[in-house]
Amino acid sequence: MKVISYNLRKHRAVGELVHLVERHGADVLCLQEADTTDIPDTISGLRLADATQRNRLGLAVYYRENTFRAVDVRSLALKKSLHDRVLKPAEERLLGVRLHDIDDGRELIVASFHAAPLTALNSLRRHQIRTALAELQSLGDGLPALMVGDYNYPVFKEHLGQKVREQGYELNLSDSRTYTRYRFFRGHYDFATSVGFEIDRVRTLPQGLSDHLPILVTARPLTDARRALEVPPRAAAS
């Protein structure tokens, strides 16, 4: 399964989506900072599962309709930063979708996530990430889950990775930096966190009109037998 995550930078890069999907054969497309009143219902074989409604700059998830069927959708408002309270750019920072694989009958969860901006503390973003990962399980407890998006977490990623692992998830960075706008803030911002998936690769794609570069996650859901062998002890105990 190929999943593309892209922060459109206030919807500026929306015109690149058709090329991205076709060029890389995406099965799922997760967007951040999209004008959800100005996005199509379909993009090159991908169907819109849902988009947030209460955001000035929203989230959206598309899936390949000849491969998957959307079973359930959930959006969530997370703990607010001062930036959120004053400027109100994003009420809902998580959009999760439960998908049914038409061919093999398995189900999985994919989600688009956008953490609070750099004006907030890392501790607040960790709280948002922890809450978002826990909420995904309400879409289907025990199902493979993959959350991609703009984590706004350029430093101390090792600490974040440790906290994510304590929840039973794995944190994966792409092969090169994903944000280039400001010299002193360049680095990895766009991540993938997962449970029940084997992540083959997370690749940074060429830059377009956004200050974020898209990432392409190539992953496969683990079978129940393999998951039983690979679940961390802490996660299994919980």
Checking DSSP bridges between strand 190-195 and strand 170-172, what pairing results, if any?
Answer: antiparallel
What's the total number of domains in the chain? 1
What is the three-class DSSP state of 24? helix
Place of tokens 């199509």: 40
- Distance in angstroms (rounded) separating the CA atoms of residues 229 and 238: 16
Give me the DSSP letters along 180-227: -SSGGG-B--EEEEEESEEEEEEEEPPP-SSSBPPEEEEEEEPPHHHH
CATH number at residue 42: 3.60.10.10
- Best CA proximity match to 62, nearest among 54, 53, 70: 70
As a three-state string, the secondary structure of 161-173 is HHHHHHCCCEEEC
Residue range of the domain that includes 220: 2-237
> pLDDT tens string for the chain (238 positions)?
999 999 999 999 999 999 999 999 999 999 999 999 999 999 999 999 999 988 778 999 999 999 999 999 999 887 665 556 545 555 789 999 999 999 999 999 999 999 988 777 888 889 999 999 999 999 999 999 999 999 988 777 889 999 999 999 999 999 999 988 766 567 788 999 999 999 999 999 999 999 999 999 999 999 763 554 455 544 443 3
